[in-house]
Chains A and B, each alone.
Chain A
Amino acid sequence: MKMKNTLRTVCTVRTVAALTALVLAAPAFADEDAELVINGEIEIVTKTTAPAHLEGHLDEILSGWRFRSDETQAMEMDDFDNPGMLGAEAGFEQFETVMGSEGKSCMDCHDGVESLANVRPTYPKWNDDKEAVYTIQMQINDCLTERMGAEKQKYDSKTMLNFEAALASVSRGMPVNVAIDGPAQSTWEQGKEMYYTRFGQLDLSCANCHEQNYGNMIRADHLSQGQINGFPTYRLKNAQLNGAHGRFKGCIRDTRGETFSPGSPEFVALELYVASRGNGLSVEGPSVRN
């Protein structure tokens, strides 16, 4: 009897809460129906039908851009207002800079960053030679060390995020399309399992916040779907580019959990899975978030 009563109360209470909380919790609300066009020309899909593998979980996928305030949204609509583009510019320069003992720059093997426009939409991706799922940063490190005789760069370091920002910037508007079958499948499954695993003393999974509660406020934060189509993201909070693994680390820490490190096999698998949840959204990085 207790349980039945309870459940009924909770349902009514929830509806009231949803309505009234709008009044109480009042950080700047985003216009969730706004559309993103960058520089007046690059059309970005920030809302679309969920990929088939999300059946039963989500019908629609939404970029984190939709959940941000009008001001933050606006910063991403023009490259002059987007501080993340400074990182992308630095990335373009790095691309042309000779590094390492072989006297080569990336330009010696690639015809400019633009020639790699299919990279951001399809990574993480299976690497046949290495027989492992590779993130962009892992691939860049292979180029640096194996082809250029240069130093390995630290995961999510400024140099790496600048490279990532440059690569993302030339793919903006292209749909995220990571492969989840074939040899990548077992890594994808591992990432999926992580996504639904509760971590930490707060006992929360990614799905608890980003699947069950997106659109809801958690204190002053407007919960998004935790998509990574916008990475790297320039966050107003720390005024720099942030990588997806850094974000995962922060979210697990916030469950009062012991996190994993950027670049760890766990986060590589999680990145593949989370990226696949955004298959169909446009690449949007470097994006602006709070």
Chain B
Amino acid sequence: MKRIAISLAALTLGAVAAPLGALAEIAPGDVQFDDYGAVETSLTGSSGNADEGRKIMTEKSLGNCVSCHAAEAYADVPFHGEVGPWLDGAGSRWTEAELRGLVINPKKTFEGTVMPAFYKVDGFNRPGDAYTGKAAPADLPPILSAEQVEDVVAYLMTLKDE
């Protein structure tokens, strides 16, 4: 698998938790999915930070997963969406590789799903520059950085069935 140095985009987006050891990461175009949409290898080569993952999932300016998914696990956050399934127990229903694949590009697991791909930079129809309504820059960054994806995966893995 081809590894590249951290891109400028990833640096800006990854501002939440500055990487210390992560020097190489897998670019959006180089991600390898298995036949079921799972992604075996960590995008950063290391495991993520679950606390950061929770923040990313519940903050509007970051992953904003809460806009579609509810969970007891983050019941303190107001206004849970109902577009996607309840996420409690996701860490028991899925393996880490499957969850990574789901966050990177859920269309590989659920064909035609409304859930967006969070680590994908091309193949869109009229992509915009975030929420400005203007055209995307040529080097459109993924919605979440490699590190943020790993943080989210780490948090999802803590959502075990009782």
Smallest distance from the beta carbon of A149 to chain B beta carbons, Å?
35
Smallest distance from the beta carbon of A73 to chain B beta carbons, Å?
20
Contact B116 A203 (CB under 8 A): yes
Chain A residues with CB under 8 Å of B114's CB are 204, 208-209, 212-213
Contact A253 B131 (CB under 8 A): yes
Q: Contacting A219 at CB < 8 Å: which of B67, B98, B117?
A: B67
Chain B interface bracket (under 10, 10 to 19, 20 to 34, 35 or more):
35 or more
Smallest distance from the beta carbon of A109 to chain B beta carbons, Å?
37
Assembly CA distance A20 to B130 (angstroms):
31
Q: Contacting B82 at CB < 8 Å: which of A27, A200, A216, A254?
A: A216
Smallest distance from the beta carbon of B95 to chain A beta carbons, Å?
9
> Number of residues in A with C-beta < 8 Å to the partner?
43
Contact A202 B66 (CB under 8 A): no
- Chain A binding surface SS class: mixed
Contact B116 A17 (CB under 8 A): no
Contact A204 B83 (CB under 8 A): no
Contact A219 B70 (CB under 8 A): no
Assembly CA distance A204 to B132 (angstroms):
16
Smallest distance from the beta carbon of A245 to chain B beta carbons, Å?
13
CB-defined A-B contacts under 8 Å, sample of 28: A3-B109, A5-B93, A14-B85, A17-B82, A17-B84, A20-B70, A24-B75, A198-B125, A200-B128, A201-B120, A202-B116, A203-B117, A208-B114, A213-B114, A216-B81, A217-B79, A218-B81, A218-B83, A219-B67, A219-B79, A219-B81, A220-B78, A249-B133, A253-B128, A256-B130, A257-B127, A257-B133, A258-B136
Q: Which residues of A contact B (CB under 8 A)?
A: 2-3, 5-6, 9-10, 13-14, 16-18, 20-21, 24-25, 27, 197-204, 208-209, 212-213, 216-220, 223, 249, 252-259
